[in-house]
Amino acid sequence: MKETAVFSACYGAFREKPGSWQTTMAAHENHEHNDEERLQKIWQQGLWNEEEFRTHDGRALRIISPGWWNRGEGPDFKNAQLEIHGKLITGDVEIHWKHTHWNAHGHHTDPRYNNVILVVVTESDPPKDLPRTSKNKPIPCLLLNRFIPPAALHLSQLSDEKSNPEKSNTTTCCKLLGDRQHLARFERFLRLAGEWRMLHKANLLQEDMERYGEGQATYECFMRACGYSRYKNNFHRIARHLPYDRARQLALQSPNLLEAAFLQIAGLLPTETDQPNMPEHLRELMRERESVLGGLKKLLMDWPRYGVRPPSYPERRLAGAACVITRTANDGLHERLKRIWSEECSSQERRRLFEKLFPPAAGFWAYHYSWHYSWASKTRKRALPLFGKGRILSLIGNVFVPHALALARMSNNRIEEEKVFDFFAHLPQEPVNTVYRAMIERFWGKDTHPQIDFRIQQGLMQIHHDWCERNPSCRNCPVLSLWTDSTL
């Protein structure tokens, strides 16, 4: 299939073909720290003989796929595939040393654990009461000490692999990609998937534009992206609570006023004004709150910081978002973006224009972190910008490109879409994440993979979402028939 100069929707047609995930898999499925990490590694790498495995109540258990190792919050393994008493079940797996850890860690009240289908423990005896989800659903247990000698659970020679739930070079895709013909088709398939992902984002943004107006929709999209995956929902709530027109008014009124408003809504401004070592910047924000924002209520929000580096704490992210909104307040963010797209320049020059929207490393946040309980933070010797180069690239690719694409599609402007496509096709790779690393390992194993740009990276993310995330064992996977299609 010849590549066009506009965004192709061909991948969307592939997703709907008979034999896709929805039609193929639906008939088959029903929906202490170091020690536990050692168990997680053993589970991931399959370093035990599972032929005799049974659940606590005697049902035969077979591990089709251990799932995707979750290094963040929530269950230890996502979308594992197990066969229990001959029935294929897909869901999450949680691993503990003792039965009591399920409740002790609060999983019984945490909705993130509602999809857990198996709890793995090292005990020999079943629990007095089965672990239950927040919906009071009982969960079967695998009692490892019944099947594995305790010494085997303390293996010292474990691989350092942390992202791939399958053994290296065992997936069918990985084997096929040794063939150059298959490799070329697969790369084409990845590009199509990346284009479709951008079209999907643009369609969602277009719907919001029609419902809330271009300015508000662009603002909400930008705020979500500034929150990254950990805080995106909270940032979206803030954008809804403080509409864009009001945010612009605050930004035009005073340089720090919008930052104070965001932090007040988030509940991240302290109430006591006499804290020791309070920085002057914080005092200024609190003065703004008292003089202008007296009626602005804060929302009830949780800001988990486990696994988050201090430079990415929500205070800094909100300050960065406020700074960009303030810097573009005269014209409006959406209008400033359209002006940059209207410039006659190369893709690289256009990217530099977008980068200038973001603040340089200066002021309070360039040298300070905000910690969990106090604003009395450590000071950096070197200035650190609120947005790093990688995060700026992510915002350009995931917000500015869909924004322009949505406008081009709304006006049926093919010339403008070609301009957006050319820019998109030349974007370099954004910072990698665990999904990206897992997919690279899944398709190329330990072999050298081709150069990855933003479009192919987006394709990997889309394929993971559509197929691999829910089917890590490759069981009945239709993707092979799609990307080996001679029409690609």
Question: Is the pLDDT assigned to residue 143 strictly greater than 70?
Answer: yes
How far is Cα 360 from Cα 367, in angstroms, rounded to an integer? 12
Question: Is the pLDDT assigned to residue 390 strictly greater than 60?
Answer: yes
Helices and strands (H and E) in the chain: how many:
21, 6
Average pLDDT of the segment spanning 461-486: 76
Over the stretch 165-179, which tens digit does the pLDDT of each residue have?
Answer: 444 445 667 767 766
Question: Is the pLDDT assigned to residue 192 strictly greater than 90?
Answer: yes
Average pLDDT of the segment spanning 448-477: 85
Average pLDDT score, the chain: 84
The contacts found for 226-231 with CB under 8 angstroms, 24 or more apart, are 226/317, 226/318, 226/320, 226/321, 226/395, 227/314, 227/317, 228/312, 228/317, 230/304, 230/308, 231/303, 231/314, 231/317
Over the stretch 58-92, which tens digit does the pLDDT of each residue have?
Answer: 999 988 888 888 877 789 999 999 999 889 999 99
Question: Is the pLDDT assigned to residue 318 strictly greater than 80?
Answer: yes
Over the stretch 402-440, which tens digit does the pLDDT of each residue have?
Answer: 999 999 999 999 999 999 999 999 999 999 888 888 888
pLDDT category at 383 given cuts 50, 70, 90 is confident
Q: Coil, helix or strand for 63?
A: strand
Q: What is the pLDDT of residue 317?
A: 94
Question: Is the pLDDT assigned to residue 7 strictly greater than 80?
Answer: yes
Helix (H) or strand (E) holding 41: helix 33-45
How far is Cα 34 from Cα 256, in angstroms, rounded to an integer? 44
Average pLDDT of the segment spanning 103-111: 89
pLDDT category at 381 given cuts 50, 70, 90 is confident
pLDDT category at 270 given cuts 50, 70, 90 is confident
Q: What is the DSSP letter of 152?
A: G
pLDDT category at 161 given cuts 50, 70, 90 is very low
Over the stretch 393-403, which tens digit does the pLDDT of each residue have?
Answer: 999 999 999 99
Q: Which of 21-35, 166-180, 192-206 has the lowest mean pLDDT?
A: 21-35
Q: What is the pLDDT of residue 208?
A: 95
Question: Is the pLDDT assigned to residue 29 strictly greater than 60?
Answer: no
Average pLDDT of the segment spanning 111-126: 91
Question: Is the pLDDT assigned to residue 150 strictly greater than 70?
Answer: no
Query: In DSSP terms, which residues pair with 90 in a beta bridge?
Result: 81
Query: In DSSP terms, which residues pair with 60 in a beta bridge?
Result: 54
Residue 144 amino acid letter: L
- Angle (CA) 261-262-268 rounded to 5° is 100
